Structure 1
Amino acid sequence: MRRFRHFTSSDSTSEINISPLIDVVFILLIFFIVTTVFVDEAGVEVNKPRAASSEDLEKNAILIAVTANGRVYQGGRNIGVGGVRSVIAALLEGDEEMPVIIQGDADANHGTIVKVIDAAKIAGAKSVSLATVK
């Protein structure tokens, strides 16, 4: 009787298919990019006044900064008091409920801040708030 010997080849290696893992990583990356909320800064540092009754806002907002020397900034651009209305109207086209936050310097002229608030209201802003420090 003949005996057969079976030799197993040591050359055969088992591989792990990582393409499904790469697909999952890309899907997670896309999910995190889509759900990320980017904060739009006013572009200028202002010294905000303190207020005991301040509240935190949870949603995106349009930030307008008024400096101590009366300049008005949005997104790092000096828009002036005259440009507030057009800028806010353009930014509110996509979301009518987006609040407008005025970051007025503690040493800013009160009249300039009132003009900015009026321009924001005329532009269609439903909520205009002043930024303060707690």
Structure 2
Amino acid sequence: MNLSKRNNAGEAKMELQIAPLIDVVFLLLIYFMVTASLIKKEGDISFVLPANIPAEEMVNVPVELLIEITSDGTVMAEGLRFAAEDRVLTDLTTQVVGLKEIAKSQQSPFAVNLLPDREAFHVRVIDVMDACAAAGVKNLSFSKSM
């Protein structure tokens, strides 16, 4: 930046070039405008204060076990299959007792719903009912097969 120029008489004349100064001022102005819009004010922060709301009453959802009996005598409960040859159904009794304990721990009612096939033998339905009785099931209902 050359501040001195000599005129014809030989004396030095001081000149200040203003174009670079204006460029710097505009750059600073743009910088402060951009950064000022990014800063959030304290009043702009939105949040919800906790309110004094009464607690809702708990709803007891019943625990229900659906036991399907197919025409070939296979018993299905909770994704488990029990073979037609198993007449005692001890694994089914264990499964029912476990679900009954879960319902008891949740203080919910427990029910078993039997869904026999139209072609299922009555003796197989009685086997399942005996397994439920061994597990101590009090609520047992039947559903109509489709």
Q: Give the alignment's TM-score, normalised by structure 2.
A: 0.51
- 1:9-65 Cα shifts (integer Å, max 9, x gaps): 4221156788969xxxxxxxxxxxxxxxxxxxxxxxxxxxxxxxxxxxx73301111
**1:102 corresponds to which letter in structure 2?**
L
Other-structure match for 1:111 = 123
Q: What is the distance in 1 between the residues matched to 2:132 and 2:140?
A: 7
Unaligned 5+ segments in structure 1 are: 1-6, 22-57
Contact 2:97–2:135 at 8 Å: present in 1 too? yes
**CA RMSD, 1 decimal:** 3.2
Identity %: 23
Q: Runs of 4+ in structure 1 displaced over 3 angstroms?
A: 14-21
Other-structure match for 1:69 = 72
Q: Which has the higher contact order (CA 8 A, sep 6+)?
A: 1
Contact 1:121–1:128 at 8 Å: present in 2 too? no
Please identify which structure carries the higher strand content. Answer: 2
| 1:9-88 → structure 2 map (5 Å cutoff) | 9-11=32-34, 12-14=36-38, 59-80=62-83, 81=87, 82=89, 83-88=91-96
Q: What is the distance in 2 between the residues matched to 1:68 and 1:19?
A: 62
Q: Give the alignment's TM-score, normalised by structure 1.
A: 0.55
Which structure: larger Rg? 2
Q: What is the distance in 2 between the residues matched to 1:91 and 1:99?
A: 10
Do the aligned partners of residues 112 and 133 (structure 1) sit closer, same or farther apart at CA in structure 2, a change above 3 Å counting?
A: closer
Q: How far off its partner does 1:133 sit? A: 5.8
Q: How many equivalent residue pairs?
A: 92
